[in-house]
Amino acid sequence: MAHILIVEDDKSINELMVRCLSVTGHECLTAFTGSEAIRIVEKNIVDLILLDINLPDVSGYDVMDYFNGIPVIYVTARSELKDKIKGLNGGAEDYIVKPFDFQELVARMNVVLRRYGKGEDAFCLGDIKVDLKNYKVYRENEEINITKQEFELLKALISNKNITLTREQLLNAAWGWDYDGDERTVDVHIQRIRKKLKWESFIKTIYKIGYRLEI
């Protein structure tokens, strides 16, 4: 879990981002103006800021200096190259253009959080502990034998918990974009993971789409 500050003046977008990120286990703070964001940062622990540029009181570019090294991802409707360059040169870790895919946002957030040592090193569910850093899985301190592909699938599900992932997304996560095999190989490996971890009730099959780790 990370503490995420969402700085977005559109109330419906702000609320949607809060709901989506809360589902993935993050704790969210919200601001609708740049000055409000500055006050929140001064009084709260914040691990990552999702920052719109077009704020009603001040540009998102202009509040960067007040964030004291907290990583920032711009989430904005500005799509021109000059804006992206200005944002990245100004210290942002990433730049995402609206409308965006929520799964992509979560993936990019995870990259930034790991870069700053805020990503999850371990994940626990029931009697299972997944050591994400060392690629090991334990049941009550006894290691479970798991293949590289099974672990990559498991890691993708954990990183996107409560989010449905397609078979194609899982295939790319475990085998890479250049893999020519059948997507149904994902089904076989998911069944093995369920059996080894006894997670039949946690890894849900989403009909004709893929799978979701539901907790």
Q: Count of alpha carbons within 13 Å of 132, Cβ hemisphere only?
A: 17
Would you place residue 27 in the very low, low, confident or very high pLDDT band (cuts 50, 70, 90)?
confident
For the entire predicted model, the pTM comes to 0.70
- Chain segment 116-148, per-residue pLDDT in tens: 877 777 888 989 999 988 899 999 889 999 999
Domains detected in the chain: 3-115 (3.40.50.2300), 122-213 (1.10.10.10)
Distance between CA atoms of residues 215 and 163, nearest Å: 10
- Chain segment 43-67, per-residue pLDDT in tens: 888 999 999 999 999 999 999 989 9
Using the Cα atoms of residue 137, residue 143, residue 146 and residue 148 in order, give the sign of their dihedral. positive
30: pLDDT strictly greater than 90: yes
107: pLDDT strictly greater than 90: no
